[in-house]
Amino acid sequence: MSVVVTIEGTDRSSSIETRSLRWTQNLTNKVDTLTFDIVAHETFPFALALLDDILLTIDSADGFGGRVISWKDSVESRGVLRRTVTCKDYTSDLDKFLFSGTYVTKPLYNVIKDVVHTVNKRDETRIADMETDETWAAGSATMTRRATS
């Protein structure tokens, strides 16, 4: 089995202790995590930064993709350095766009526009609070805004 760990587009497999690789796959709403150790003598072979992109490839198939969220350095005997790296998968980037809402008797167009505006956090009138008349034909909608006072 071939395992390749790429950090910021560069294969760093030779610096990683393969027995330390731990990929936790969650089947719930929690993000997957990957931890691994980089072992070096005297100095680390490359710089690591928060939010560096990590890709774990197993037998030429992408397995895990995510970002570095933390690491912990330790010194072992005789100048051996160990860096334990923790990564979260890319779903954590998407979590900030999750939206939950309830719409009753609102036209679909208004619901979609309201979700988009809420996710983008725009300071505009909530479109779902307005009323429209909709006519659906051939996959498109025509709308006429009714003036309400």
pLDDT in tens, 14-32: 999 989 999 999 887 788 9
Res. 137: pLDDT tops 50: no
Contacts for 61 with CB less than 8 Å, ≥ 6 apart? none
Strand partners, 37: 17, 84
3-state secondary structure of 37: strand
pLDDT at 54: 95
Tokens of 62: 């992408």
Q: Which of 46, 18, 20, 23 shows the shortest CA–CA distance to 34?
A: 23
pLDDT in tens, 109-136: 778 777 777 766 644 444 444 445 544 4
Share of the chain above pLDDT 70, in %: 75
The answer to whether the beta carbons of residues 129 and 145 sit under 8 Å apart is no
Res. 142: pLDDT tops 70: no
CA distance 58 to 39: 21
Res. 53: pLDDT tops 70: yes
Q: pLDDT: is 78 or 56 the higher one?
A: 56
Q: pLDDT: is 53 or 27 the higher one?
A: 53
100 backbone dihedrals φ, ψ, rounded to 5°: -130, 130
pTM score:
0.63
Res. 82: pLDDT tops 70: yes
